[in-house]
Amino acid sequence: MRMANSALEANETFMYQVERVKKKNRKLSFIKGMLFLLPSLILFSVFLFYPMLKTIYLSFFLTDAKGATTVFVGWDNYKEIFTDSVFLKGMKNTFLFVFYTVPLTVIISLFLTVIANEKLKGIGVFRTIFSSTMGVSVAAASVFWLYLFNPTMGLLNKFLELLGAESIGWLTDPDWALFAVSVTTIWMNIGFTFLILLGGLQSIDSSLYESADIEGSSYFYKLRRITIPMLSPTLFFVITVSIINAFQTFGQIDILTQGGPANETNLIVYSIYREAFVNYQFGSASAQAIVLFIFILLMTALQFKLGERRVHYQ
Amino acid sequence: MMLSAGKKAIFYVLLIISAFLIAGPALMAIVMSFMTNQDILTGSLPTTISLDNYFAAFTRFPLLQYFLNSFIVSIVIMLGQLILSALAAYAFVFLEFKGRDFLFYLFIATMMVPFEASVIPNFHIIRDLGWIDRYSGLTVPFFATAFGTFLLRQNFKQIPKELREASQIEGIGDFKFFLKVILPVSRTSLVTYGIYSFLTSWNMYLWPLLVTTNDTVRTVQIGLKQLQTQEQLNDWGVIMAGAVIIILPTLILLFLGQKKLQKGLTEGALK
Amino acid sequence: MSQVELIDITKSYDKQKDVLNGINLSIEEGEFFVLVGPSGSGKSTLLRMIAGLEEISGGFLKINDQTVNHLPPKERNLSMVFQNYALYPHLTVEQNILFGLKARKVEKREQQIRLMEAAEMLGLTELLKRKPRELSGGQRQRVALGRSVVSHAPLCLMDEPLSNLDAKLRANMRVQIRRLQKQLGLTMIYVTHDQVEAMTMGDRIMVLNEGKIQQVGKPITLYNEPENLFVASFIGSPKMNLGNAAFFADGNHLIIENQLHISIDPDVIMGVPKDRNLKVGIRAEHLFPGESKKDHIHHLEAVNVEQLGNETLIAFEVGSELWTAKWPGQWTIEFGQKVPVQILPQYLLFFDVETGQLIQSADIGKLREVVTI
């Protein structure tokens, strides 16, 4: 009896030790995991989380030219920007810009993807050409189109001249400027969108098409009943990414129009840039940045939430 | 799918027209870069072809310096992103520890913060660190990326867990396993992400515009803007020569890595 | 001395119900021990707990009388072979085999000696410079074995190492692994779902189902005296014929599946309760051809015939069950034909319907079949 008891006790102390070792191991694996993640976490903290919080903080203050806070103004910066006709116009322009660029980019890219997905000789060359604009930087693309839009020498007006039509001040006419910037943007974004859509299209199981062929389905029937539904997650992804990108547009504006004429192309990021780094109004610029942040937050949240549910996954 | 000759012809016509429209602006720029200003101004087809515009671009502007800067910045960002996201992806795939899921959601959350929205304090941080006009200011803020981490995590997940278990039994630690097994085994996806990373870094515009004030570290993109705004009276040949030079590295990279990018990015985006 | 001892081992994930429950087991030095069971039975989990790849939820694990619950895999001095071989795809065969030795800082010369030894033993000498993707399935398997051999670990764990190979190669590798184990004097713990592998390779077998030990013993014991219905139907191919049965009131007649009437000498079935429903079982080779015999003949309808060349498998309909007979030689039997079959009561096994436990095994089976030379 006593022997059994002491054996039991020995067991208990041993179990206690085992538990301690387990705890220590857990601690060690936590430290190990953190070591792998630490570089990313530190940089995220310094260059993402802290700046984001700081932006919120700044949006409630007036600042000096160096960015130091001077006066706490509460919601005034927000009140101010939402009554400021320039900012409101910028917002309107941004939405208009999204509306001009996103559907067209996706539709054109989808068309290119569909015709470039056929098994034809030399199709690789076409795919390369269609994706090539992804390799063209925003600065280079803007310079190309700056020339194309040039009122006297530009090819577009020369073409209009040839047709006997009046030339257009693409970048100087308030009615055309945003459209011109949109055309540039669409052209730039086709490459990336095409590449992603092509990847999506090629991952569709070919047996779906084969069985449709056996049933004698027509080309457009297959496009509508197989290609588009099976591609819907990819489409959804490129749509949201395009919207987010459109909100973040800056380079083309800076080179093509500098926000003009009459603020017609003053999109939100350009507006933030000017407010902060030209006018040194860091407070109200931060308030604008927060508005941008909220829009993008909503878009990303929508992408995560709807991405899983509404869209057809195989 | 077999296509009849008629259908084939339709597809070729569509493909050729589209290709012409897409490649048009870049082709035009390339042609213009070899033309004399005389020809450009009169709008005629090139009568002579010369490299004068390229000489002009390199001699009148520190284009070579910009080019070198862009290379350094892009390579450094690429390496930084690869190292940090590979480490993080490894932790998310192979290590189990308390708080891992929370940290994973934290990484996801970073995708909701656009860089443009936090650009003001970021600029102040870089200024206060004295990193204006330094390579560090152009590169370090971009090292940590959620996108890269997810992309590599997706690829690491396809590596059999047994490889790690076999190494555990053989007494190989996690860091050694990461270096000696995971990195070599997933080199294809590392290359894919590296290409993407280089492309986006090379093409950055807003940030280099803010944190470079002189030619020492200025990148080609900003250089091109300078070229365009300073070049007197529409010397378009020189401007186009500059533009062609700066898109050359990325186009070459894109042509080489197109298949890989297409596959890699689709996987990263959708799984 | 027992090399591996499991005392009341349990495994549970996050408050879910136990995956493994009350596993007590001891494995002797130099023994080839097989863990067998259907998928989801917990056999791989158990092996991975021994390896240290899974945490042990409760109980003790002892290796060489040392409790090792808390030790990481590398300190347990064992080697492991995985189902998918777990070869490093970017390393050559040689590098794969030496990877662990390098990590353990084994001396260079010693590394080479062990490498050559293992390569020769496994016929890998020609393949050392190749990458895994240039090897066939069987060759990869041998590289995985080589990795285990060079480690000189006294305990080797194998997790379904043959299930990715085709049938012919599998039979070949069974022999190789068995020979290697004896040659090196390894203690082997071998997990498989294939009862043929278990029967042919194991010194002892443990049958596991739904996280509980069903039976531990020598292959022949499991075959002849399955402790319960699960083991009876899991071990042996074709599987044991089973049927519901009850005694007539007089206790001298058994009726199986409401179809077969069998008269039994009461002496044979002393221990079997007569007043209850039972399950009876009989091995395929104990349903004898009945044409030249007189007693215990039943005419059964053949519903399927499989000619294997050296023997013939005939399926008969018995009530709601299909019984299979295995007859030596070649038999021509038509589908639907009534065939005389001899069913001797001495060969019947009796099980409790409710608990599934064995009540009485076929005495005669034990006596006649194990031939010791």
**Dist CA A179 CA A168 (whole Å):** 12
**Dist CA C92 CA C127 (whole Å):** 9
With a cut of 50, say whether residue A233 has pLDDT above it. yes
| Tokens, residue B87 | 């480490």
Interface of A with B in 253-282 (CB under 8 A): 254-255, 269, 272-273, 276-277, 282
How many other CB atoms are found less than 10 A from the CB of residue B8? 14
**Which residue of A lies nearest to B149 if distances are taken between CA atoms?**
A40
Q: Does residue B84 fall inside a structural domain?
A: yes
Rounded to a whole number, what is the distance in Å from the CA of B167 to chain C's nearest CA?
7
| Tokens, residue A15 | 């179990």
Report the sign of the C-alpha dihedral through residues C275, C278, C283, C288, in that order: positive
Q: Which residues of A touch B149 (CB under 8 A)?
A: 40
Give the H or E element holding residue A140. Answer: helix A138-148
> DSSP letters of A76-107?
HHHHHHHH-HHHHHHHHHHHHHHHHHHHHHHH
pLDDT band at B69 (very low <50, low <70, confident <90, very high): very high
pLDDT of residue C372: 60
Q: Which of C152, C99, C100, C95 is nearest to C124 (CA)?
A: C95
Q: Does residue B250 fall inside a structural domain?
A: yes
Of residues B236 and C217, which shows the higher confidence score? C217
Q: Does residue B183 fall inside a structural domain?
A: yes
Buried/exposed B135-155: b ≥16 CB within 10 Å, e otherwise: eebbbbbbbbbbbbbbbbbbb
Between A56-65, A117-126, B87-96, B229-238, the lowest mean confidence (pLDDT) is in B229-238
The whole-angstrom distance between residue B231's C-alpha and the CA centroid of its chain comes to 27
Q: Residue C37 has what DSSP assignment?
A: -
pLDDT of residue A312: 42
pLDDT of residue C12: 85
Of residues C112 and B114, which shows the higher confidence score? C112
**Dist CA C56 CA B229 (whole Å):** 71
Give the H or E element holding residue B164. Answer: helix B161-170
Q: Which residues of B touch A134 (CB under 8 A)?
A: 199, 254
pLDDT of residue A187: 93
pLDDT of residue A314: 31
Q: Does residue B20 fall inside a structural domain?
A: no
CB contact under 8 A, C55 and A22: yes
| Chain C contact for B176 (CB, 8 A cutoff) | yes
| Mean pLDDT computed over A264-270 | 87
Q: Which residues of A touch B110 (CB under 8 A)?
A: 44, 48-49
Domain A79-310 classification at class level: mainly alpha
| Chain B contact for A62 (CB, 8 A cutoff) | no
Interface test with C, best of B96, B169, B182 (most C CBs within 10 A): B169
CA distance to A225, B1, B11, B31, per residue, from A209 (Å): 10, 8, 18, 43
What is the DSSP pairing of strand C260-263 with strand C253-256?
antiparallel
Q: Does residue B88 fall inside a structural domain?
A: yes
Residue among A26, A48, A244 whose CB faces B118 most closely: A48
Rounded to a whole number, what is the distance in Å from the CA of A24 to chain C's nearest CA?
10
Q: Does residue B53 fall inside a structural domain?
A: no
Strand order in the sheet with C278-282: C260-263, C253-256, C241-247, C278-282, C349-352, C358-360
> DSSP letters of A220-252?
HHHIIIIIHHHHHHHHHHHHHHHHHHHHT--HH
Domain that holds residue B265: 60-270
pLDDT of residue A105: 93
With a cut of 70, say whether residue A304 has pLDDT above it. yes
pLDDT of residue B61: 82
> DSSP letters of B31-58?
HHHTS-HHHHHHTPPPSS--SHHHHHHH
Q: Does residue B107 fall inside a structural domain?
A: yes
Strand order in the sheet with C155-159: C78-81, C155-159, C187-192, C32-36, C204-209, C212-217
pLDDT of residue C2: 59
| Residues C240, C225 contacting (CB under 8 angstroms) | no
Helix (H), strand (E) counts: chain C: 9, 21
Give percent of chain B with pLDDT exceeding 70.
94
Report the sign of the C-alpha dihedral through residues B262, B263, B264, B270, in that order: positive
| Chain B contact for A296 (CB, 8 A cutoff) | yes
pLDDT of residue A310: 43
3-state DSSP helix/strand/coil percent for chain A, to nearest 5?
A: 75, 0, 20
With a cut of 70, say whether residue B5 has pLDDT above it. yes
pLDDT band at B62 (very low <50, low <70, confident <90, very high): confident
Residue pairs between chains A and C whose CB atoms are closer than 8 Å: 12
CB contact under 8 A, C78 and B169: yes
**Dist CA C255 CA C266 (whole Å):** 15
CA distance to A230, B79, C83, C147, per residue, from C143 (Å): 42, 35, 13, 6
Highest mean pLDDT among A118-122, A127-131, B89-93, C286-290: B89-93
pLDDT (tens digit per residue) in A12-46: 777 777 778 878 888 888 999 999 999 999 999 99
CB contact under 8 A, B262 and A198: yes
**Dist CA A37 CA A99 (whole Å):** 39
Of residues B79 and B98, which shows the higher confidence score? B79
CA distance to A233, A294, C307, per residue, from C330 (Å): 60, 82, 7
pLDDT of residue C68: 87
| Residues C201, C161 contacting (CB under 8 angstroms) | no
Interface test with A, best of C7, C57, C65, C69 (most A CBs within 10 A): C69
Count of the separate structural domains present in chain B: 1
Between B47-61, B87-101, C183-197, the lowest mean confidence (pLDDT) is in B47-61
Q: Which residues of C touch B186 (CB under 8 A)?
A: none
Q: Which of C182, C228, C172 is nearest to C349 (CA)?
A: C228
Domains of chain C and any CATH numbers: 2-229 (3.40.50.300), 238-366 (2.40.50.140)
CB contact under 8 A, A18 and C55: no
| Mean pLDDT computed over A182-206 | 88
Mean pLDDT of chain B: 86
Report the sign of the C-alpha dihedral through residues C176, C178, C179, C184, in that order: positive
Entry field: residues in chain C = 373
CATH of the domain at B241: 1.10.3720.10
Q: Which of C158, C142, C151 is nearest to C98 (CA)?
A: C151
CB contact under 8 A, C103 and B170: yes
Q: End-to-end CA distance of chain B, in Å?
A: 28
Domain boundaries defined on chain A: 2-58, 79-310
C213 φ/ψ angles, rounded to the nearest 5 degrees = -70, 130
| Mean pLDDT computed over B226-252 | 83
Q: Which residues of A touch B99 (CB under 8 A)?
A: 30, 33
Chains that touch B (3 or more CB pairs under 8 A): A, C
Residue among B87, B100, B114 whose CB faces A292 most closely: B114
Rounded to a whole number, what is the distance in Å from the CA of A310 to chain B's nearest CA?
14
Residues with pLDDT less than 70, chain C: 1-2, 15-16, 363-373
Of residues B71 and C248, which shows the higher confidence score? B71
Q: Which of B231, B252, B227, B246 is nearest to B70 (CA)?
A: B246
Give percent of chain A with pLDDT exceeding 70.
94
Q: Does residue B17 fall inside a structural domain?
A: no
CB contact under 8 A, C99 and B170: yes
